[in-house]
């Protein structure tokens, strides 16, 4: 993979790269199980504020420097508004109206947006194999997330998807998930600019605290019965989503995003709905259809193509050169004759 950690000899490096997406997928399931007994904005604040404090404590123990100067704090505040408040707010409100798997799918369409932004801002090379992988990834998460009836209707020339069905889709919360995906994509790209002025670990911690405060403020003003109906197992689930699904997952993700290929890292986000669906099936009885299993397969293929795009392009170029070299003696013989 075209990421800084991949070059490390640390034996657990590949697991650390995958860890944020595993934790996000399982946290999605944990949140879906808790949401009937709490409120979305309160839950978003719980995911951000305590997690941000944990990251700052970890950063201090690691000797990381605090942000210095107005430029650093302005970038962190902007980062907090977009990737903290907006992303988590849209996510929680959308999750109320979608399944854990479908919600994760809609969010995890963001690698395409990250690839386009990275190409525009940082001139990251994507190439034929990368675009093919992104296309397969979007196709895969579509098979995972869209209703089977929609997919069959799309290939049935005698049946049209009505405007009403599209309205039903966006009335059920998926548009909020798409806004969450866009917020996350912008936040992923923004970390490069934030890290010019602040340490990525400390910036991640502060952005979670500053992003969580307005969510809790709005929750106190507009929501009620935020925690009164929660039982012990649901507090444990919230604790898992906070510590593992936020503090550890975001800390690792934005550390990796601060260097290396954003397109390659973001493509691993396609794994999140796979984990969400598998654990949603295990704990919430969300059954995977045959089409969804096909989508899982396409998703895994897409991740391979995106992260191996340079190697595949080099192999193709090598094969073309060898073929050209083999053709040259034959052409010389033909010319002599």
Q: What's the pLDDT tens digit per position in 91-107?
A: 778 777 766 556 666 66
Percent of the chain with pLDDT over 70: 64
Between 186 and 159, whose confidence is greater? 186
Residue 147 phi/psi, 5-degree rounding, is: -60, 140
Q: Provide the pLDDT confidence category of residue 312 given band limits of 50, 70 and 90.
A: low
322 part of a folded domain: no
Q: Provide the pLDDT confidence category of residue 2 given band limits of 50, 70 and 90.
A: very low
pLDDT at residue 9, rounded to an integer: 46
pLDDT at residue 159, rounded to an integer: 47
Using a 10 angstrom Cβ sphere, with 0-12 exposed, 13-18 middle and 19 or more buried, the burial of residue 63 is exposed
154 part of a folded domain: yes
Report the distance separating Cα 24 and Cα 280, nearest Å: 12
4 part of a folded domain: no
Report the distance separating Cα 215 and Cα 78, nearest Å: 15
Domain, as residue range, for 119: 13-310
281 part of a folded domain: yes
Let me know: does 207 contact 83? Beta carbons within 8 Å. yes
329 part of a folded domain: no
State the sign of the Cα–Cα–Cα–Cα dihedral 77, 83, 86, 91: negative
Let me know: does 271 contact 298? Beta carbons within 8 Å. no
Between 193 and 145, whose confidence is greater? 193
Q: Per the structure, how many domains does the chain have?
A: 1
335 part of a folded domain: no
Please state the pTM of the whole predicted model: 0.70
pLDDT at residue 60, rounded to an integer: 93
23 part of a folded domain: yes
pLDDT at residue 320, rounded to an integer: 62
337 part of a folded domain: no
pLDDT in tens, 276-290: 777 776 766 666 677
Let me know: does 20 contact 252? Beta carbons within 8 Å. yes
pLDDT at residue 327, rounded to an integer: 63
């Amino acid at each position: 993979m075209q990421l800084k950690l991949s070059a490390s000899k640390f034996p657990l490096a590949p697991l650390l790269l995958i860890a944020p997406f595993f934790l996000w997928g399982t946290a999605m399931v944990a949140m879906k199980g808790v949401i009937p007994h709490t409120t979305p904005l309160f839950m978003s604040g719980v995911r951000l504020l305590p997690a941000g404090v944990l990251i700052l404590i970890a950063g201090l123990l690691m000797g990381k420097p605090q942000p210095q100067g107005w430029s650093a704090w302005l970038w962190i505040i902007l980062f907090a508004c977009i990737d903290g408040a907006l992303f988590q707010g849209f996510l929680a409100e959308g999750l109320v109206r979608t399944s854990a798997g479908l919600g994760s799918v809609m969010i995890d369409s963001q690698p395409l947006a990250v690839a386009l932004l990275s190409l525009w801002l940082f001139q990251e090379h994507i190439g034929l194999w990368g675009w093919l992988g992104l296309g397969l990834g979007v196709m895969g998460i579509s098979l995972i997330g869209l209703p089977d009836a929609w997919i069959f209707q799309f290939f049935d020339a005698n049946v049209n998807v009505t405007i009403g069905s599209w309205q039903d889709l966006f009335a059920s919360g998926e548009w909020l998930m798409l806004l969450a995906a866009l917020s996350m994509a912008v936040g992923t790209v923004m970390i490069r600019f934030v890290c010019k002025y602040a340490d990525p670990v400390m910036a991640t911690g502060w952005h979670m605290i500053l992003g969580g405060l307005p969510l809790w403020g709005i929750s106190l003003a507009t929501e009620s019965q935020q925690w009164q109906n929660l039982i012990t197992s649901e507090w444990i689930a919230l604790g898992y989503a906070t510590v593992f699904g936020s503090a550890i997952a975001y800390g690792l993700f934005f550390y990796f995003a601060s260097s290396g290929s954003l397109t390659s890292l973001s493509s691993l986000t396609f794994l999140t709905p796979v984990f969400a669906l598998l654990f949603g099936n295990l704990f919430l009885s969300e059954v995977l259809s045959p089409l969804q299993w096909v989508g899982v397969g396409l998703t895994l293929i897409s991740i391979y193509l995106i992260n191996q795009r340079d190697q595949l392009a080099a192999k193709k170029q090598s094969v073309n050169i060898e073929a050209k070299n083999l053709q040259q003696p034959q052409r010389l013989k033909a010319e002599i004759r």
